[in-house]
Amino acid sequence: MTGINVPRVLAGGLVAGTVMNASEAALHGGVLGTAARELFARYQVPDLTTATPMVSLILVTYLLGVTAVWLYAAIRPRFGPGARTAVIAGLAVWVLAHVWSGVYLGMGFMGLITPELAFVPILWGLVEAPLGTVAGAWIYRETPV
């Protein structure tokens, strides 16, 4: 058994994070953009597209990509290399990130946040997380013995 190749996890994580960030931009800037702007206007929330929130969200999404590839590397000895294992890791990330946050927002802030803004990202993430993880896993290779 070999150790986790940390440089490859980081490189793959950047790829996964790029896929996930592009997907998030399409979701929140396009698909849910109008609904989010309406929600912000209703509660008089300042524009969240300023530098600090945007950079923070982008960086955390890159961290999610690194975490997804790290998880792939960790389970790879048990499940074998390849897309199937990357999808399994991506689905775990989906449950831990997308499902948890969507249910938290939808149930915890019921009546404040629309069901669309809470639950559409869960479905979106069902594609985004495995796809990003597969892209990042494509970069990953084990450390030579």
pLDDT at 107: 86
> Domain range for residue 113?
6-137
Report if residue 145 sits inside a domain: no
CA atoms within 13 A on the CB side of 120: 16
Report if residue 22 sits inside a domain: yes
Report if residue 142 sits inside a domain: no
Report if residue 64 sits inside a domain: yes
Instruction: Give the pLDDT band of residue 66 (cuts 50, 70, 90).
Output: very high
Report if residue 39 sits inside a domain: yes
Report if residue 143 sits inside a domain: no
Instruction: Give the pLDDT band of residue 62 (cuts 50, 70, 90).
Output: very high
Alpha-carbon distance of 86 to 82, in angstroms, equals 6
Please check the confidence at residue 145 and state whether its pLDDT lies above 60: no
Q: Residue 82: which region, alpha, beta or left (left: phi > 0; alpha: psi -120 to 50)?
A: left
> pTM score, two decimals?
0.91
Report if residue 1 sits inside a domain: no
Our count of domains for the chain comes to 1
Average pLDDT for the chain: 92
